[in-house]
């Protein structure tokens, strides 16, 4: 009978028990022959299981006869439910019902001895695989044999694949074939990669293996991994270091791989030499690339209940996969783990515990290990002692996973040794239900799980790349609105690493400068080159008053609305402010109210030192000019040449920089000694005409007394004096180049092309002629990386470059825009309209100045095209253009600006109309942002809306972001989204094929409303010179007043019929444009009577800065 324990565990009802056939244990009789194999196999199935029958006892013995001399194999498949099978009829014993119950508890089955049924002897370990949860095996009592199910067939042929031996009476345990399972895993991984490549051509899982030294066993293991990776379609590379490699060198290599986004997994082949700390090395691997799973984070998470490790260590993971292959439910099973190493024993115990097994870990100090093993349903041995676990220790029906790898002497082997496990396999296989061999069990699974982890790492990497989400900072609005610095200090910013992570900047692409600002490496452009760019929006304005109309504030407000309120990835891209205006009259440029960049003190002061780098580069070139003229005036040709190309280590060689000059001069020689005297003179003497030098020194302070200076007055300069002056740093051509460069290489070439003057023979002299181009680039190599900050609501901001809007483009950098557009972009399988993020950048002054330069210079250089133009308008400024009294900084506003006056406002809208008309000439949709002030009325706002839409704007939307932050600009942001989805018909205002005069006329007539352009004699002379020198095809930047559409600040509204006087034309070859002066432009402003710096102070206890605005 079924023993009480089995019956209880199965919880059969009395009715069901009464139907069961009596089953008696019976051993194999002496002298019985080994049964012949017969298979019972559902068609299309792959795995087979055996049960045995033997000749029945004598006729007098009770019980039905068995089918004689048969071993039956039943093939099981998850999609098959075995049904009725009737055994042959025996004349002495009519068929009687025999039932093997479905889903017998595994514990009950393991407890049973070999059982005799109407079909013969069946061991418990063979019943288990026969009976999956939904399967049944029943012998009917009908007098005739029913037909077999259609999905079953009998064969007597030899099985094509046997997972275990059936040679003994009790049936040997199933050999768990690690090689076969590992092969299947590799094939699945290859198929998975192929499938991923269909939608993501960049999906190439990559593993880097680092091996230090030449241990033969390590080399063997590495070869196995390389081969297996190739079979799985995984890129795998070995990086081999000599035994003498230091720990620091090894960690440096790991850091390089950590920061390489194309590498998904890093494996340090252990052991490493004794002079290297294994812990330090493995801990250096980035958590997301720790595919070996032994980093502190992964092991720690694995050990926690409910922990979520990124990766499970490979061998323990393989052990669990092998257990899974047996089909046994581990819940409640007694599991004994032999060994407590960090490599196998401990991690396996964590995994078994998580599978709800009852786990005991035995180790070198455990007493009477045998007693623990005998009680175990599952035994995992990882102690490294050959045949430590004896066959008699194994509980009948237990599962044995042998992780041990031990070599013992074997004279039959060529090597003189053979590999065995911790378990006496030959003895244990006769008792266990399932057992892994050594080799061919756990070993191949370890490698397979490593490959699985690499593919998982690659999948996670691409998932992280796509999973971008800005988590906004809450705003606590106050009324009345506090000062800008008070608002900035009241908001606690995110760590800049978090800002970067939210938008998909990788750790290796970020260079933090403190807690709240960082540089972003340009390598990001290569990583994300496959993405479609996000939406590109340029914010400009109407012709402003001296108080400004809030372009920067609007830029921040729209960005906060998009990123913090509408769920879009949104970047604000703005210029770095100069310290001149910050300490002068204008103040900072962080925005204002509840729409600004934070921390505003860090934004306005130094930031990451880019302006200082520009200053250093500019002034190095100025020094190079002066010193070259001095030495040329005091040395003969031969001596000058020898000093420029000195002998080093007995040999004279050209420095790399001089090859550029040789090429320019057409001297095709590389040996300095081969130059002729005439060639030496041409090479060594630049012969700069001091009267033509345009290069001036710079500094980032409004120091009016440096506008004109005399240099060379010291006695040491031998009377070589020269009149020159200073500009503000942001007016340097180096700053314009920083803004317009597309790469570090592009910046280097532009810096070298800068023309500082001409020779007495009329040839342009460049920075590379002076040998300074490379040094300038070296000083600015970090400055070219955009700076990342955040708005008050935690949305990202790129702050980069700050070219002087009076004489340059007045816009942030091309590279910042390109980085942001990729970070805000979409993947190939994403809905661009629904998912595309936004980059909101700003152009200096009004559209007619900043916007025109943005399109004709910046876009021409970058190749980028905006999707929307936003023109910021205020009631106050439009009233000025409608005839209102002048507005002076610091003065009280006339009541016309604080009270409703629709008539003067409507008259002033002519200025807004002209800017809309100008913007539409470029074929880009226009949205007007009405920046609301407290004194504006609804009637006045409605007038602006009517006039703007009538002029061709897509919409004109009021916004109150200054007082309400992003929430106050949600409607405006929605309008920008809608406009960005409209078709564009982009075109530039002019080509560069005509003359300089034609291009200037196109700007003055089409943008300003002028009738004609008038060139001074000096301007015309310079245009002729530049054209002769080959610079006549450059774009044009016209420097004029920002307070009028014309050149005259007194002409308000939309004047026409005037003549624009061009007083001077200057050359910026490196930046790539000519700039004409249509007014008396001060390139280094002065300070007012009460400059801004008198308000600035610092709390010496907290370090907080006050007084900035």
Predicted pLDDT at 128: 36
Q: What CA–CA distance (Å, rounded) separates 789 from 603?
A: 8
| Domain limit, last residue, from 724, 754, 780 | 780
Q: Which domain holds residue 693?
A: 611-780
DSSP letter (8 states) at residue 49: E
Q: Which residue did the predictor score with more confidence, 151 or 969?
A: 969
For the domain that residue 195 is a member of, what is the CATH number?
A: 3.40.50.720
pLDDT at 947 over 90: yes
Non-local CB neighbours of 441 within 8 Å, separated by 6+ positions = 176, 177, 178, 322, 401, 402, 421
Of all residues in the chain, the percent with pLDDT exceeding 70 is: 84
Does residue 1095 lie in a domain region? no
- Tell me: do 360 and 444 sit in the same domain: yes
How are beta strands 48-52 and 70-75 bridged, if at all?
A: antiparallel
Does residue 79 lie in a domain region? no
- Tell me: do 824 and 960 sit in the same domain: yes
Q: Which of 196, 253, 269, 452 is catalytic?
A: 269
Does residue 826 lie in a domain region? yes
Q: What is the pLDDT of residues 12-34, one digit of tens each?
A: 343 433 343 333 333 344 444 43
- Tell me: do 601 and 615 sit in the same domain: no
For the domain that residue 1000 is a member of, what is the CATH number?
A: 3.10.410.10
pLDDT at 134 over 50: no
- Tell me: do 221 and 263 sit in the same domain: yes
**Helices and strands counted in the chain (H then E):** 38, 47
* Phi then psi dihedrals of residue 47, to 5 deg: -105, 140
pLDDT at 161 over 60: no
- Tell me: do 808 and 934 sit in the same domain: yes
Q: Do 523 and 509 form a contact (C-beta atoms < 8 A)?
A: yes
Three state DSSP letters for 146-201: CCCCCCEEEECCCCCCCCCCCCCCCCCCEECCHHHHHHHHHHHHHHHHHHHHHHCC
Non-local CB neighbours of 9 within 8 Å, separated by 6+ positions = 105, 107, 108
Does residue 276 lie in a domain region? yes
Predicted pLDDT at 133: 34
Q: Do 580 and 699 form a contact (C-beta atoms < 8 A)?
A: no
- Tokens 């275990």 correspond to 164
Predicted pLDDT at 921: 98
Q: What Rg value do the Cα atoms of the chain yield, rounded?
A: 41
Predicted pLDDT at 589: 79
Predicted pLDDT at 101: 37
Q: What CA–CA distance (Å, rounded) separates 137 from 72?
A: 13
Rounded to the nearest 5 percent, the helix, strand and coil shares of the chain are 35, 20, 45
Q: Average of pLDDT values for 852-878?
A: 98
CA-wise closest residue to 480 among 959, 962, 941, 937: 962
pLDDT at 501 over 90: yes
pLDDT at 156 over 70: no
Q: Do 703 and 729 form a contact (C-beta atoms < 8 A)?
A: no
For the domain that residue 728 is a member of, what is the CATH number?
A: 3.30.1510.10
pLDDT at 140 over 70: no
Residue 910: half-sphere exposure toward Cβ, Cα within 13 Å: 18
Predicted pLDDT at 997: 97
CA-wise closest residue to 428 among 403, 396, 406: 396
Q: Is 452 a catalytic residue?
A: no
- Tell me: do 227 and 332 sit in the same domain: yes
Does residue 1087 lie in a domain region? no
How are beta strands 36-42 and 152-155 bridged, if at all?
A: antiparallel
Q: What CA–CA distance (Å, rounded) separates 630 from 603?
A: 41
- Tokens 């001409």 correspond to 758
Q: What CA–CA distance (Å, rounded) separates 495 from 509?
A: 16
Q: What CA–CA distance (Å, rounded) separates 34 from 121?
A: 13
Q: What CA–CA distance (Å, rounded) separates 766 from 854?
A: 26
pLDDT at 81 over 80: no
Q: Do 759 and 772 form a contact (C-beta atoms < 8 A)?
A: no
CA-wise closest residue to 776 among 798, 741, 797, 750: 750
CA-wise closest residue to 167 among 49, 74, 67, 71: 71
Question: What is the torsional sign of CA 792, 795, 798, 803?
Answer: negative
CB-CB neighbours of 603 under 10 Å: 27
- Tell me: do 1045 and 947 sit in the same domain: no
Q: Do 241 and 249 form a contact (C-beta atoms < 8 A)?
A: yes
Element (H, E) at 592: strand 591-592
Predicted pLDDT at 414: 87
DSSP letter (8 states) at residue 470: -
For the domain that residue 870 is a member of, what is the CATH number?
A: 3.40.50.300
849-865: b (≥16 Cβ within 10 Å) or e = bbbbbbbbbbbbbbebb
Does residue 704 lie in a domain region? yes
Q: What is the pLDDT of residues 682-704, one digit of tens each?
A: 999 999 999 999 999 999 999 99
DSSP secondary structure, 509-538, as one string = GEEESSSS-EEE-THHHHHTTTSBP-EEEE
* Lowest mean pLDDT segment, chosen from 79-83, 745-749, 811-815, 903-907: 79-83
* Lowest mean pLDDT segment, chosen from 6-15, 735-744, 830-839, 1098-1107: 6-15
- Tell me: do 235 and 373 sit in the same domain: yes
CA-wise closest residue to 3 among 94, 106, 113: 113
Q: Average of pLDDT values for 238-248?
A: 97
Q: Which residue did the predictor score with more confidence, 181 or 143?
A: 181
Cα 682 to its chain centre, rounded Å, is 51
Name the pLDDT band for 585 (thresholds 50, 70, 90). Answer: low
Element (H, E) at 663: helix 656-665
CB-CB neighbours of 1073 under 10 Å: 26
Q: In the chain, how many domains are there? A: 4
Q: What CA–CA distance (Å, rounded) separates 857 from 860?
A: 5
- Tell me: do 846 and 940 sit in the same domain: yes
Structure-block tokens of residue 750 = 């532009």
Q: Which of 225, 914, 1040, 1052 is catalytic?
A: 225
CB-CB neighbours of 1088 under 10 Å: 12
What mean pLDDT, rounded, does the chain reach? 86
Burial zone of 831 (CB within 10 Å; 0-12 exposed, 13-18 middle, 19+ buried): exposed
- Tell me: do 858 and 927 sit in the same domain: yes
DSSP letter (8 states) at residue 704: G
Does residue 465 lie in a domain region? no
Predicted pLDDT at 381: 97
Q: What CA–CA distance (Å, rounded) separates 1058 from 1073?
A: 25
Q: Which pTM value belongs to this model?
A: 0.82
Q: Is 225 a catalytic residue?
A: yes
| Domain limit, last residue, from 957, 981, 1005 | 981
SS3 214: coil
* Phi then psi dihedrals of residue 117, to 5 deg: -125, -175
Q: What is the pLDDT of residues 787-833, one digit of tens each?
A: 999 999 999 999 999 999 888 999 999 999 999 999 999 999 899 99
Q: Is 292 a catalytic residue?
A: yes
Q: What CA–CA distance (Å, rounded) separates 736 from 1071?
A: 6
Does residue 131 lie in a domain region? no
Name the pLDDT band for 586 (thresholds 50, 70, 90). Answer: low
- Tell me: do 602 and 637 sit in the same domain: no
Residue 320: half-sphere exposure toward Cβ, Cα within 13 Å: 20
Q: What CA–CA distance (Å, rounded) separates 96 from 116?
A: 14
- Tell me: do 573 and 645 sit in the same domain: no
Predicted pLDDT at 845: 92
Q: Which of 292, 424, 768, 955 is catalytic?
A: 292
CA-wise closest residue to 1039 among 1090, 1083, 980: 1083
Q: What is the pLDDT of residues 877-904, one digit of tens each?
A: 999 999 999 998 878 999 999 999 999 9
DSSP letter (8 states) at residue 313: -
Q: Which residue did the predictor score with more confidence, 467 or 99?
A: 467
pLDDT at 80 over 70: no
CB-CB neighbours of 148 under 10 Å: 14
Burial zone of 396 (CB within 10 Å; 0-12 exposed, 13-18 middle, 19+ buried): middle
pLDDT at 272 over 90: yes
């Amino acid at each position: 009978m079924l023993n009480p324990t089995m019956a209880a565990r199965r919880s059969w009802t009395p009715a069901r028990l009464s139907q069961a056939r009596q089953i008696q244990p019976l051993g194999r009789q002496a002298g019985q022959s080994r049964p012949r194999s017969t298979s019972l196999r559902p068609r299309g199935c792959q795995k087979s299981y055996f049960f045995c029958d033997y000749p029945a006892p004598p006729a007098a013995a009770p019980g039905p006869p068995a089918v004689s001399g048969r071993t039956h194999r039943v093939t099981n498949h998850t999609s098959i439910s075995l049904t009725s099978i009737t055994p042959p009829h025996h004349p002495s014993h009519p068929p009687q019902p025999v039932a093997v119950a479905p889903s017998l508890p595994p514990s009950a089955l393991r407890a049973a001895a070999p059982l005799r049924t109407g079909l013969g002897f069946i061991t418990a370990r063979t019943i288990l695989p026969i009976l999956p949860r939904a399967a049944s095996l029943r012998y009917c009592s009908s007098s005739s044999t029913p037909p077999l199910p259609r999905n079953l067939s009998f064969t007597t042929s030899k099985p094509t694949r046997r997972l275990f031996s059936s040679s003994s009476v009790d049936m040997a345990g199933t050999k768990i074939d690690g090689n076969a399972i590992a092969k299947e895993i590799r094939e699945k991984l290859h198929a998975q990669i192929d499938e991923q490549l269909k939608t993501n051509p960049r999906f190439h899982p990559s593993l880097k293996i680092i091996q230090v030294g030449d241990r033969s066993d390590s080399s063997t293991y590495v070869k196995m991994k390389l081969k297996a990776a190739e079979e799985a379609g995984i890129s795998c590379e070995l990086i081999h270091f000599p035994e003498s490699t230091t720990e620091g060198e090894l960690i440096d290599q790991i850091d390089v791989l950590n920061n390489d986004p194309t590498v998904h997994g890093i494996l340090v082949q252990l052991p490493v030499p004794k002079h290297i700390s294994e812990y330090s090395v493995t801990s250096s691997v980035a958590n997301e690339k720790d595919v070996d799973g032994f980093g502190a984070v992964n092991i720690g998470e694995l050990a926690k209940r409910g922990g979520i490790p990124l990766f499970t260590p490979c061998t323990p993971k393989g052990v669990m996969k092998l257990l899974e292959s047996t089909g046994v439910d581990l819940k409640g099973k007694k599991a004994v783990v032999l060994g407590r190493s960090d490599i196998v024993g401990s991690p396996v115990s964590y995994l078994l515990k998580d599978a709800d097994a009852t786990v005991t870990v035995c180790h070198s100090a455990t007493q009477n290990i045998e007693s623990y093993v005998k009680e175990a349903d599952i035994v995992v041995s990882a102690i490294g002692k050959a045949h430590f676990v004896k066959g008699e220790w194994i509980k009948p029906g237990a599962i044995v996973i042998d992780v041990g790898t031990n070599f013992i002497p074997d004279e039959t082997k060529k090597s003189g040794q053979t590999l065995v496990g911790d378990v006496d396999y030959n003895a244990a296989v006769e008792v266990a239900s399932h057992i892994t061999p050594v080799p061919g069990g756990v070993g191949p699974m370890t490698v397979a799980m490593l490959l699985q982890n690499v593919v998982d790492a690659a999948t996670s990497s691409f998932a992280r790349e796509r999973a971008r989400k800005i988590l906004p900072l809450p705003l606590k609005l106050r009324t009345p609105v506090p000062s800008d610095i008070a608002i900035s200090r009241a908001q606690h910013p995110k760590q800049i690493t978090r800002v970067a992570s939210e938008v998909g900047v990788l750790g290796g692409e970020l260079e933090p400068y403190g807690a709240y600002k960082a540089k972003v490496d340009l390598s990001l452009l290569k990583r994300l080159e496959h993405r479609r760019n996000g939406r590109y929006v340029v914010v400009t304005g109407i012709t402003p008053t001296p108080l400004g109309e809030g372009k920067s504030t609007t830029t921040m407000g729209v960005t906060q609305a998009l990123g913090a309120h509408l769920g879009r990835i949104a970047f604000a891209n703005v210029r770095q402010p100069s310290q001149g205006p910050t300490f002068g009259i204008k103040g900072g440029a962080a925005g204002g109210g509840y729409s600004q960049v934070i921390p505003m003190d860090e934004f306005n002061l130094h930031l990451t030192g880019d302006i200082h780098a520009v200053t250093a580069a500019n002034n190095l070139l100025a020094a190079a000019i002066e010193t070259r003229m001095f030495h040329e005036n005091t040395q003969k040709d031969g001596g000058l040449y020898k000093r420029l190309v000195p002998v080093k280590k007995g040999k004279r060689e050209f420095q790399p920089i001089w090859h550029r000059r040789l090429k320019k001069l057409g001297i095709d020689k590389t040996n300095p000694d081969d130059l002729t005297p005439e060639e030496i003179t041409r090479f060594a003497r630049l012969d700069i005409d001091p009267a033509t030098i345009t290069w001036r020194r710079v500094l980032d302070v409004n120091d009016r007394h440096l506008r004109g200076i005399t240099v060379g007055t010291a006695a040491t300069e031998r009377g070589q004096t020269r009149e020159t002056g200073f500009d503000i740093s942001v007016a340097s051509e180096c700053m314009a180049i920083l803004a317009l460069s597309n790469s570090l290489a592009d910046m280097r070439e532009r810096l070298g092309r800068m023309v500082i003057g001409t020779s007495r023979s009329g040839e342009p002299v460049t920075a590379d002629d002076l040998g300074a181009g490379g040094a300038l680039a070296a000083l600015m190599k970090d400055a070219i990386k955009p700076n990342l900050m955040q708005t008050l609501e935690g949305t990202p901001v790129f702050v980069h470059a700050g070219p002087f809007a009076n004489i340059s483009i007045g816009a942030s950098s091309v590279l910042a825009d390109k980085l942001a557009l990729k970070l805000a972009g979409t993947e190939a399988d994403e809905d661009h309209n629904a998912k595309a993020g936004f980059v909101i950048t700003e152009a200096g002054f009004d559209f007619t100045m900043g916007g025109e330069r943005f399109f004709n210079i910046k876009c021409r250089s970058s190749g980028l095209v905006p999707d929307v133009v936003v023109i910021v308008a205020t009631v106050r400024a439009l009233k000025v253009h409608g005839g209102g009294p002048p507005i002076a900084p610091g003065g009280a506003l006339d009541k016309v600006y604080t009270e409703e006056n629709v008539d003067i406002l409507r008259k002033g809208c002519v200025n807004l109309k002209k800017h809309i008309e100008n913007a539409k000439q470029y074929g880009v949709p226009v949205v007007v942002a009405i920046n609301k002030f407290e004194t504006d009325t609804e009637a006045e706002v409605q007038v602006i809306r009517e006039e703007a839409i009538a002029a061709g704007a897509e919409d004109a939307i009021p916004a109150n972001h200054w007082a309400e932050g992003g929430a106050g600009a949600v409607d405006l942001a929605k309008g920008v989204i809608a406009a960005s989805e409209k078709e564009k018909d982009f075109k530039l205002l002019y080509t560069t094929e005509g003359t300089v005069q034609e291009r200037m006329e196109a700007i003055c007539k089409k943008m300003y409303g002028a009738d004609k352009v008038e060139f001074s004699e000096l301007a015309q002379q310079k245009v002729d010179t530049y054209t002769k020198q080959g610079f006549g095809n450059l774009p044009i930047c016209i420097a004029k007043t920002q307070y009028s559409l014309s050149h005259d600040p007194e002409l308000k509204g939309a004047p026409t019929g005037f003549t624009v006087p061009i007083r001077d034309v200057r050359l910026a070859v490196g930046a790539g444009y000519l700039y004409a002066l249509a007014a008396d432009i001060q390139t280094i402003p002065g300070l007012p009577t009460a400059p801004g710096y008198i308000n600035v102070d610092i709390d010496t206890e907290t370090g907080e800065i006050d007084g900035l605005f």
